[in-house]
Amino acid sequence: YHSRKFSSKVERAPATMMNADMDAVEAENQVELEEKTRLINQVLELQHTLEDLSARVDAVKEENLKLKSENQVLGQYIENLMSASSVFQTTDTKCKRK
């Protein structure tokens, strides 16, 4: 009976150590899971930011093209006005002096 009592204590000790090891592994897994979750959320936030910036770049490009077109039209209009006006006509200064 005495040897049986001793052997049950020996059997319990590894089980207790195994439970402690399992708790440590579980805690480590929980920390890893939280870190992965945090990283995934950070990646998703960065993706949304990139999408927003990309949309903004597209809008600015579109606005730029529109303004370029308007500038060309205005430039042509001004050029036409200048050519039609006698104020902007080129004069030959040599002819006037003679």
Rounded CA gap, 31 and 29, in Å?
Answer: 5
Rounded CA gap, 16 and 22, in Å?
Answer: 10
Amino acid, single-letter form, for residue 94: K
Rounded CA gap, 45 and 40, in Å?
Answer: 9
pLDDT at 86: 81
Residue pLDDT tens, the chain, 98 long: 445 544 455 455 556 667 878 888 899 999 999 999 999 999 999 999 999 999 999 999 999 999 999 999 999 999 999 898 888 776 655 555 54
pLDDT at 45: 98
